[in-house]
Chain A
Amino acid sequence: MAEGHPHAAARFVADDERLHWHDQAVWWIRQKRDAASAPVADWEALRVAAAGIKRHVLSRLADLLEEFERNAQAAGAQIHWARDAAEHNAIVHRLLADRGVTRLVKSKSMLTEECKLNPYLEARGVEVVDTDLGERIVQLAHEPPSHIVMPAIHRKKEEIGELFHIHLKTERGLADPTRLTEAARHHLRDRFLAAGAGLTGVNFAVAETGAVVVCTNEGNADMGTSLPPIHIACMGVEKIVPRERDLGVFLRLLARSATGQPITTYTTHFVGPLAGGELHIVIVDNGRSEVMAREALRGALACIRCGACMNTCPVFRRSGGHSYGYTVPGPIGSVLAPLRDAERHAALPFASTLCGSCADVCPVRIDLHHQLYALRQDLARRHLVPWQKRLVMRVAARVLAQPALYRVAGWLARRLVPLLPRRLVYMRWNVWGRGRELPALPPDSFRALYRRRHGQS
């Protein structure tokens, strides 16, 4: 079992100033999302359409993947299939090794983070450069992204300045975002020009045309696929959309939900390779077909990775992406992670207030808080919640099921708890009480008050 969200989050909140800084930074993006979506009169109709397309896609995903494969191959792409992360990594490495490529430039791909591709390739002598600015920052800091859209949102500009001073030879103490970005532009240009291959993720794969669509603001995916002759695009099986016109729906939702922009700067439709080059598309399952079997949870496969659920989540904003211990943090990550490894990520479905704000902002209407609740029930059935919680729940269930017992327990608690010394009430087994105060216990029960007021039972 991993350390668990509560412990990692406790470290994050220990720095009060940083906690509030992070909260505000993330909330600011939520506000930009609101400002960008409010003027879109058909916003709700768009969400309904997007959810409908995704439902349709899941119901005939195998057919659509075959159609995509045919059309992509007809355009000159080569298709590879990987059941799991190990097979995915081996395919990518084989493609590079067979062509003698030792320098790879990558644009953002959460799938390759999920598969831990970078360390796999680095151990085999491939220099991997993440070219999204945020991803480059966390790569230089030897840490995973803390957010799927803004990978370095947990880093302050002074810290980035220090990293760049060490690795990019910028002047010491430089913390101006414009000048740091300019330094990164030069640094990354050199890497683009020297690369033997470019790897990208995939935002959408269009069955009807065989196109893979990649959305970026920086243009790093375009630099990385137009200079080196080899483009490797890695996608989860769920990235399919049936028709090109479906893109109109998703592109109107994606950037508005992610960053509050009306669309990303570059939305590139890759159909076939560069002249004289190669386009390889690696289609990865890695547990997704198993998620599809779970009726209450398969909706999570509709996720388009906009990050809106994170930006609105009161728990994410105050605990930071790293405390989730999974590639995708926040509400959607708290669903996806236990689906991959329930034991390891058993704490994540509880890292939520179930307030439902995530489901409200989700552009594809994933019912995230219901899924988190379903996962809690599932984990409890499998005894994957801590014994204290199980014990309390079992006792509570007993007491609440028997009115007489409930009355006695209430009477006892009202009299006993105020007399107990604080360190007994908040002893270390009272996990709930670690971050919370019990309300003052009233002298009388609700039942007694009600009877007094209405003169009857």
Chain B
Amino acid sequence: MASRDQILAALRRNAPPAAAAPELDGLGMRFADPVAQFAESVVAVGGACVRVADLAAADAALAALPQAASATRVVSLVPGVGRPSVELTAVADPHTLADLDLAILPGELGVAENAAVWVEGRALHHRAVFVIANHLALVVQARDIVHHMHEAYERLAGRPRGYGLFISGPSKTADIEQVLVVGAQGARTCTVLVVDGPAG
């Protein structure tokens, strides 16, 4: 603990005068049609966005995608969407997910300004599932699309504390001569299904 106390003492000794934390009210851009903006943002970050009436339509739209049609190892955490062949709760070791073709996951909310979808960790069973799968589909309710990040964190504030993440589009890199390559380490495609109707 010697280091801890020394570091904290040095930081207290050298601290600048008190400065209040700024209020963040009024930040963020609002859009006339946040769902349309969200769909536009998803495409801009390299994903695909499909707007559907209900979960049955989401299932049909997904089935029409080549990456879903050819998938054999499939995880779905959205009841009624996809043809799951792997039951995550029965998977003991996430390493066995290495050949997962498709993961279909629920998104708690979507952010219009940047296509980010919040995925709650508790539901995943294995954290690896969203990144190890070759293809990813996220299912978000249209009513859960917010304008901007400030609104997103307001919505998330009430949840129980835990692991979670924003996903915006497929995995990508531009580390070789600035050429954008989609499918670096994680999902090669990211399809966001925006569902208008009531869940399930």
Contacts and interface: CB of A to CB of B under 8 A. Distances in A.
Interface stretch (A75-83, A165-173, A318-326, A430-438): A75-83
Nearest to B167: A266
B179 interface: yes
Contacts of A210: 161
Interface in B29-82: 29, 41, 44-45
Contacts of A272: 162-163
A441 interface: no
A268 B98 CA distance: 20
Nearest to A164: B176
A269 B164 contact: yes
B45 A59 contact: no
Contacts of B6: 83
B52 to A, nearest CB: 24
B177 A59 contact: no
B38 to A, nearest CB: 11
Given A274-B127, A289-B14, A267 B166 contact: yes
A262 B115 contact: yes
B148 A252 contact: yes
Nearest to A291: B14
B168 A262 contact: yes
Contacts of A304: none
Given A59-B15, A247-B153, A265-B169, A289 B7 contact: yes
Given A58-B15, A270-B163, A245 B157 contact: yes
A251 interface: yes
A180 B183 CA distance: 12
A53 B162 contact: no
Interface residues of B, number: 76
B10 A133 contact: no
Contacts of B28: 42, 248
Given A177-B176, A248-B24, A293 B131 contact: no
B150 A266 contact: no
B175 A152 contact: yes
A29 interface: yes
Contacts of B172: 217-218, 265
Interface in B102-149: 111, 113-116, 121, 126-128, 130-132, 148-149
Contact of B170 (A48, A181, A265, A298): A265
B140 to A, nearest CB: 16
A285 to B, nearest CB: 5
B185 A188 contact: yes
Given A65-B8, A245-B24, A265 B3 contact: no
Interface residue tally of chain A, by bracket?
Answer: 35 or more
B171 A219 contact: yes
Nearest to B152: A248
A249 B45 contact: no
Nearest to B165: A268
B15 A181 contact: no
A268 B22 CA distance: 25
Interface string A144-170: 000000111101110010000000000
A295 B148 CA distance: 35
Interface string A272-303: 10100000000101000110110100100000
B169 to A, nearest CB: 6
B186 A237 contact: no
A182 B170 CA distance: 14
A259 B179 contact: no
Contacts of A193: 95, 98
Nearest to A215: B166
Max chain B C-beta neighbours (<10 A), residue from A56, A153, A267: A267
B11 interface: yes
A270 B11 CA distance: 25
B27 A292 contact: no
A83 B3 contact: yes
A12 B26 CA distance: 47
Interface in A176-193: 177-178, 180-182, 184-185, 188-189, 192-193
A153 B177 CA distance: 6
B11 A292 contact: yes
A380 interface: no
A444 to B, nearest CB: 52
A292 B179 CA distance: 39
A331 interface: no
B182 to A, nearest CB: 9
Nearest to B170: A265
A209 B44 CA distance: 31
A283 B150 contact: no
A275 to B, nearest CB: 8
Given A42-B29, A265-B186, A28 B149 contact: no
A45 B44 CA distance: 25
Contact of B131 (A29, A133, A222, A289): A222
A132 B184 CA distance: 9
B48 to A, nearest CB: 14
A36 to B, nearest CB: 10
Interface of A: 25, 28-29, 40-42, 45-46, 48-49, 52-53, 55-56, 58-62, 65-66, 71, 75, 81-83, 87, 131-134, 137, 150-153, 155-157, 160, 177-178, 180-182, 184-185, 188-189, 192-193, 209-211, 217-220, 222-223, 225-227, 237, 242-249, 251-252, 259, 261-272, 274, 283, 285, 289-290, 292-293, 295, 298
The 6 closest A-B pairs by CB, nearest first: A219-B186, A262-B114, A52-B22, A289-B10, A134-B175, A226-B128
10 contacts: A41-B29, A46-B27, A48-B22, A71-B161, A81-B4, A152-B175, A177-B179, A177-B181, A219-B187, A263-B45
